[in-house]
Amino acid sequence: KKTIKDIDVKGKKVFCRVDFNVPLSGTTVTDDTRIRAALPTINYLIENGAKVILASHLGRPTAEDKDSFKMDPVAKRLSELLGKPVAKTDQVVGPEVDAAVAKLNAGDVLLLENVRFEKGEKKNDPELAKAFAALADVYVNDAFGSAHRAHASTAGIADYLPAVAGFLLEKELKILGASLENPKHPFTAIIGGAKVTDKIGVIENLLDKVDTLIVGGGLSYTFVKAQGYEIGKSLLDKDKLDLAKKFLALAKEKGVNFLTPVDTVIADEFSETANKDVVDIDKMPEGWLGVDIGPKTIALYSEAIKKSKVVVWNGPMGIFEMEPYAKGTEAIAQALADATDATTIIGGGDSAAAVEKFHLADKMTHISTGGGASLELMEGKVLPGVAALDDAE
Ligand code: 3PG
């Protein structure tokens, strides 16, 4: 795909889609990671004399609650990070926006209101896509986190303007995409999280690529059950049990080392203050539930990580939001941090939050800014926001 480096932006109006879908507390941005991740592209546009029109969604606003999803706090934080004023419109498109764009000089930055305030955004309405395109000369997509959405500002607009990738989108695709397409070996993937259902496509795709597949977290108990063990009150995706069996058989067939927990932390209820114990996986008592991987499992998984050249991680190993059940997730984050010879990639969402929480973020090769987008990439899917861009010559 073409990138921002392939085009001349001097004096041009650039419509740049970013993913500023950041957490807010009232009107304060509580985590500006995604804003900071877009700075290289924004600064490049400023330095090269573009008139920068930024657009993003924020949250999932409805007609009733949209006031709490306005972009003003984001504009304020961006302005602080850039060290220069950022104009902000209260409209997404319309006369106010046209006037603000007309006022832009080379190097100025304008942020539009939340694109999801327009009904046509999520529907990828061509009328809205055309209205976005009419504001600018060039379209830059730097919103990796939204690249799995085929919306007017992430995909539709590319039909009407020269369309290229920004630096963040390029970097995400290079690191995560290349590791998946052309992996160095041994290649290990760690898949956690609550539900098998959410990770079916990922596991299926990875079984063709990895040497070792590790599962943890809620979804791993379905795999434990699939091996014939009792799992008490642990999470079970009943209708995915046969699929779990199939995956285990497939792994064997393909020579993939499929690692499942060999011991587990258990609790007698879903609560931080429950009674706790650690048992081998074939000794889970009735009425208790698995809440984290146990020490033997930590050792087994850490050993596999140590031997890897590439490790991709998505999803926690236990209920890491509850302090007593965070050890497994922390230990895996630490094992990745210690694997200094390996490329370590954190696939967004909860695992990115976990790595931040344990202060290990700077020890990883790459932490993706996309949750859903990185999962779809791991499923081997083409992301609509990427597909829509112009092909490199
Ligand atoms: C994300 O946070 O994963 C992206 O910003 C996409 O948000 P969405 O799931 O509301 O489309």
DSSP β-bridge partners for residue 276? 267
374, 379, 385, 390 alpha-carbon torsion, rounded to 10°: 120
Would you say the CB of residue 59 lies under 6 angstroms from ligand 1?
no
Out of 21, 367, 377, 383, mutate this one to test ligand 1's pocket (max ligand atoms within 8 Å of CB): namely 21
What angle do the packed helices 72-82 and 39-47 form, to 10 degrees? Answer: 60
DSSP β-bridge partners for residue 17? 55, 141
CA distance 387 to 285: 50
In this prediction the pTM is 0.91
Q: Which of 369, 376, 325 lies closest to 346 in space, CA to CA? A: 369
Instruction: Choose the catalytic residue: 49, 372, 380, 381.
Output: 372
DSSP β-bridge partners for residue 16? 54, 140
What's the pLDDT tens digit per position in 169-221? 999 999 988 888 888 999 999 999 999 998 999 999 999 999 999 999 999 99
Q: What is the mean pLDDT of residues 271-295?
A: 97
CA distance 102 to 124: 26
Instruction: Choose the catalytic residue: 12, 13, 17, 34.
Output: 34
Residue 192's contacts (CB-CB under 8 Å, 6 or more residues apart) are: 215, 216, 217, 219, 220, 313, 314, 315, 316, 317, 329, 350, 351
Q: Could you tell me the pLDDT band of residue 295, with boundaries at 50, 70 and 90?
A: very high
Residue 349 has pLDDT above 90, yes or no: no
Q: What is the DSSP annotation of 251-270?
A: HHHHT-EEE--SEEEEESSS
Q: What is the mean pLDDT of residues 21-25?
A: 94
Out of 146, 151, 314, mutate this one to test ligand 1's pocket (max ligand atoms within 8 Å of CB): namely 146
192: annotated active-site residue:
no
Tell the residue nearest (CA) to atom 1 of ligand 1.
145
Would you say the CB of residue 116 lies under 6 angstroms from ligand 1?
no
Tell the residue nearest (CA) to atom 9 of ligand 1.
372
Would you say the CB of residue 149 lies under 6 angstroms from ligand 1?
yes
Q: Could you tell me the pLDDT band of residue 136, with boundaries at 50, 70 and 90?
A: very high
346, containing H or E segment: strand 343-346
Residue at token pair 């409209």? 91
What's the pLDDT tens digit per position in 53-72? 999 999 999 999 999 999 99
Residue 348 has pLDDT above 90, yes or no: no
Q: Phi and psi of 201, rounded to 5°? A: -60, -35
> How far, in Å, are 38, 54, 389 from residue 107 at the CA level?
16, 13, 24
Ligand 1, residue 57: give the atom nearest the CA: 5
Tell me, in angstroms, the distance from the centre of ligand 1 to residue 13's CA.
26
What's the pLDDT tens digit per position in 207-257? 999 999 999 999 999 999 999 999 999 999 999 999 999 999 999 999 999
Q: Could you tell me the pLDDT band of residue 41, with boundaries at 50, 70 and 90?
A: very high
pLDDT value of position 80? 98
Tell the residue nearest (CA) to atom 7 of ligand 1.
146
Instruction: Choose the catalytic residue: 120, 349, 371, 385.
Output: 349
Instruction: Choose the catalytic residue: 2, 76, 195, 276.
Output: 195
Tell me, in angstroms, the distance from the centre of ligand 1 to residue 329's CA.
24
CA distance 105 to 115: 23
372: annotated active-site residue:
yes
367, containing H or E segment: strand 366-367
- Higher pLDDT pick, 153 / 393: 153
